[in-house]
Structure formats: structure tokens, C-alpha cells
Structure 1
């Protein structure tokens, strides 16, 4: 909650986060200049039954003699252009001097086009005549989205977006297909939306809530992108030397010698490497108040990060200020914990990773449970498993001070 001036008024800003269990507002506008009368205008939102309810149609009908409906859809026109952009709606209450910023549902901005009543406009393949997308290719659509983001995004988000574009150009051609790989990991459109919005609300890595196996619950290709794998394989030899390794990795190095399949061995090596980079990054951006020893601090300072991974972590965890916020540190911990599940085949104890993250077992247990894990006692040790489909604990809302 922040204070600022809105025009000549002093106002308090409240940012309302999205809730995956509730639909956020839809935003529609009239390019024709039509000014609707709230007292004599009917508004309806319709879902497509055969498409699982993911396609929406917004219809505005003025009560007059014109016999015209204003119609917009979520699968064509401007709503489709904003598919990968994030927008918010600001509502200023003069009585309480409060500016509330709420997310727009699935980033849907509807361009309401006039349609004569009685003419069937329900054909899914029909595109509005003045659609801003038209018959563009996927590459052209992506370019349009980037231009839109550069025009209306924040300076910080534009800077991050440019950095990610540079990383994609620097890496092998497969890195350009990251977005396609991410989409293919999801089984349904609903899963894609839940992973793109729900994981931000829960502060977790992207997930697939309807997964039938633990491996699919947190798709590994969404945690370690295509272009990063080859930079992780380069440190295979240092891992064998067990130099400056986190305790979690050091206690499991012997697993690599037991694996005969080279692909499986390289995959586990990369997971160990990524866990090490995350823990070193956490140590590097921790302050004395978080209990880090001088030995760990110097080890983290001397640690060599591959450029692509260092830049990704700096962007993803907002580390430009030098230290991590509580929210971003919790997100980093979530990434570490998900990878530990992969490393131990989804049955893991808390002891060594708690030491690496400088956390007490009860706090670490809460983090695992927030990821949908089940923690139980086995042979006097706390054991973590990941049942599927994922079941998350309900999110607690902060009480507002009245």
C-alpha cells in the first residue's frame, strides 16, 4: 500500500492481486465512439461450451431502436493481441481517496464492434473487420505484442523484456522455441492459464494442477529453459570434485556413479548444478541479518555463474538492488525445493537442504506444503512426497485495517 498524488488529490494505492478462484474484471471499449447509458444498456458475458468455457464473448445491447449489438470475443482482435501482456484497471474512489488497481481477466481487453441484430455472428472463424490482428503469422503476432509492451509497460518490465530477448538471440536456435515448449508441457488451456497466473499468486514455479504424475506437476522444461541445459553440463567435472558444493548436492554425488544411462546422468548433473547456482545466488544476495556465515558469503562471491543463468536469476528474483526481498527469496526457495524433489525421485528428507537454505525444519515444511507436498514421519525422519493431482493449501488473505 503506497501514498501518491492522483491529479491534485492525495491518494492511497491498493494493488489487488489476482485470485485463481475468482474471475477478474473484463474491459471493453467502443472504437465507434458510442457512449453507453448504464441505466439503459444490457451487458452479457457468454462462454463457449465445447471449448471448456475458455472462450468468452462480451455483448453490449443498448435499449433503443437501432437494433444493434456491440460484440467482442476473447479469441480474436485486440483481446488476442494482449494474450501475453499484463494489464490492470485503476479505480479511484474520491470519497475514501483510494486508488484500487485490479488485474484484468486473463489480460482481456475487448474491442466492441457493432453488429446488426438478427444476423448470425457466432461463427468461430469469423474475424472482426477492424481486427488489429487480422491474418498475421505467429511471428508477426509476437512482434505486435512486444511493441505493445514497449509502449505501455513499466520501465522495469521493458528492461527485463529486452534482456530476455537478447538472451534468446545469444543462445542456440532451440532457445527461440522456449515458449512453444512451455505450452506443450500443459495438457489443457486451463492448465496454461493456471500456470501463467496461479503460480504468480502462490509465488511458486509454474505448475500443472491436473497432472497425473509428479514429474508433470512442475514441468522441468519450465524451470530450466532449453538454452540453459548446455551451460549446466559444462560443470560436470567440477561436480565430481565436490568442491564448494552445497550439502544437499555433496550428499548425492555418489548417485551419478551409479547411473549407467548417459542421458539420465547428464540430466541429474544439470539438476544438481541448477540447485547449486540457486543456493549460491541466495547466499550472494543475503545480508548478515539472514544468518549467513562469512565463509558462505566468500564462497558465493567467488562462485562462477554462467552468464545466461546469472542474468535470468537477477531478472526473475529482482536482485538489482543487491539483496532479495522476502517474497523473491521465498520464490527462490520454491524453485530449489521443486528441484530437490526431482533429484530424490519425489521422496526426500528435510535435513541437508534445510542446512543449505539456513532454515528450520518447521519453516521448510511449510514451504513444501505450499507447493502441494505431503510431509509425513518415516523412521523418525520427516519425509516429503508429492501427491497428484496437486492439492494446495488455501491462500490466507491479509486483514485490511479499517
Structure 2
């Protein structure tokens, strides 16, 4: 009887101890941080390893110091522990990365004496620990390999495990590599040879003068401060040819069409504009005579271009028959400056290079007659060329293709309708376009 009672009592106690698990939510208490979660690396410390928590110091703020002391941010703490051989310390960057990824855990504490399971209300993220072997701390870190050592190791690796193609590339690179140390004794001799070879080379100023000399434009003065002085008149029209031109016949006729009939070349809007009576009356007698001579010479050059632009060429006698009213000295000058002759031939050919040179000389005279602001569209129509090609030749003279402002139009006597017309404007000092760099 007593045995049965004792057995029943024992079973009753066992059932109570196994079924009396109580789950409750604990309330946080100020001060201690409480239990923390850590994630060990591959090496785990013994269970008896002690860990300490260290909080970072922060700047003190007035009126908020008590609150800062009571509430410690767990992300700003370091978890540190050590054994006889290894040190464990939390990695702040990795721990923050895990915390920001949303990895949170609820920590529960089981009290074996009371059978209560207390769940902490605040979720926690684990601290990621890293290990440091104490014996390795005294060994200095090895220096990074130099580029030469890295190349040598890579070559050995390629020769040992590389394919046939990789080995062939390694041998080719070894053959093409220059040994700088072997050249140290001959560097002085090489430098002397370079200096001796460069003695005959042109300087920067001489090279610039040579480039300017080879430009297909009239002779110019790069230091001129006035547009009139950039291209001297007698650099375009020699003085002997200038004196041979006569414009007295233009004073004996009154109508513009009769004046146009006196020109060697008549089919040009630019010529008709400058031969008109209204244009001439606005200038002084000296200016009017100069403009007439320029117009006459431009007309002669246009007629000369039309007579020689075919590839067969022209002789001196044939040119005299085609341009009967032009003085012989003018014809000889045009043939000498703007044509080329082959050996043993008397036929003068206007090559593409000479045609470009002839057009730039014509455009330079047009600028002088137009007060250095020329309408390139009308000239393109007269020459049956595209405006882009004509603008390119004007740019080679140092002009800028732009719209004229109100002050410039008033100075040139142009109407408001010319506000939308682009002009080739020459300013001093002259600036030539820079060569374009090709894309790599």
C-alpha cells in the first residue's frame, strides 16, 4: 500500500516537472545588454572561453547624456574573446551587413529550476567573429611581389602548365623584351647620335613658316592689326599688272548692262552688284576706281578659270584669242602663277591645286571689295559650287562664317534682310583654322 502510494506520488511529481513549462515575455531592464548572438568562423573556441563586450565612446551632448548611458546601441559594440592560441573579435562591417540584410533572431532563456521560458522582446542580429592566431601576429607581413617577380612567376607557371599556344606566346614575349640594363653603357652614345641627327631638323618657328609658305593663299601678314593689311593688294595683283588695268571705258557708259559688257566674264551676281551705279556713287572717286579695278581683275580671273579648267590645257595664243581685251602682261602673270606645264610642252594646265589657289586669290579680292564681309552664297552660285566648299576656302583665308550684327550691317550699308545671311568675315590679326585630329 505504501509502495503504491509512493509510486503514484513519484509519477505525479514527474508529470508535473515535465508539463509545467511556462512561456512568458520578459521586460527589458535598463543597464545590462543581455545575451548576444555570435557566429563563429570555421574554428570554434572551447565552451569555457570568456567573452567581453566593449562599447565605443561617443561625443557628449548637453541634456542627453543620461539617455545615451542607458541606451547602448548594440551595433556599436565589439565582442572580444580569447584562448591560449587564438583571439576572437567581432567584425563590425560584416556584422552590420548581416543586420541590414534583415537577419534577426529572438532569444529565449530557459530556467531549469522554475521551468519558465523567458523570451526577450527585442530581436537580435548575430555578431560575425573573426579569428587571429597569436603566434602569427609576431611574423611581419610579406611584401607584395614586384612586377618583375610577378612576371617571372607567371612565366614559370605558363611554361609548366600552359598550352602549346601559351608557351609560344611566352617565348615570343621573351624574344621581344628589351633588356634595359644591357643598354646602360651605350645610352650616352645613343643620345649623342640623336642630337647629331636632330641638328638639321627645323625648329617650331621654322616649321610654322614653312607651313604658311605652302598655303594655297595669297601672301599675308600674320601680325597685321587691320584687315586691309592682312593680304596686301600687290601680293594678289602684281603692281605691273595693276598699272596695266584701265577702267576709263566704264566712265563713258551709263547703264549697268553696258558696263557688264566691258568685263571679260559677265555671268556673275557678285560682279553685277559691284558694277552698279548705286554701289559706285556711295564711294569716293579714289575708292570707286580701286573697286572697279578689283572687279575688272576678278572678272579676268573668272574668265581665265573658265578658259583653262578643262584638262587639255591652253597655249598662250589660244588664251589671247579667248580673252582679247585683257592686257598681255596680265595674261602672262596669270599663266605663270596659276598653271603648270609639262616638260617639252607649251600647253598650260590648270590643275586642281592651282584651281584652289586661283579661287583663294579671287576670294581675297572679293573681301577687299566687300569691306571684308562677303556673301558666300552668291559667290557659290556664280562658281556653280556648293556653299560648304566655298565656305571652306574662305575659312582657309582666316575668315569666320557668321551672321552680322546691326552695327556691322550699318557700317557696310546692308539692309535688315541681310540679318539672316551668313557672311565670311575677316578680322585682324588673322587666325587660320587648326588641322583636325583624326579619331583613333
TM-score, length-normalised on structure 2? 0.42
| Structure number with bigger Rg | 2
- The structure in which a higher percent of residues are strand is 1
- The structure in which a higher percent of residues are helix is 2
TM-score, length-normalised on structure 1? 0.46
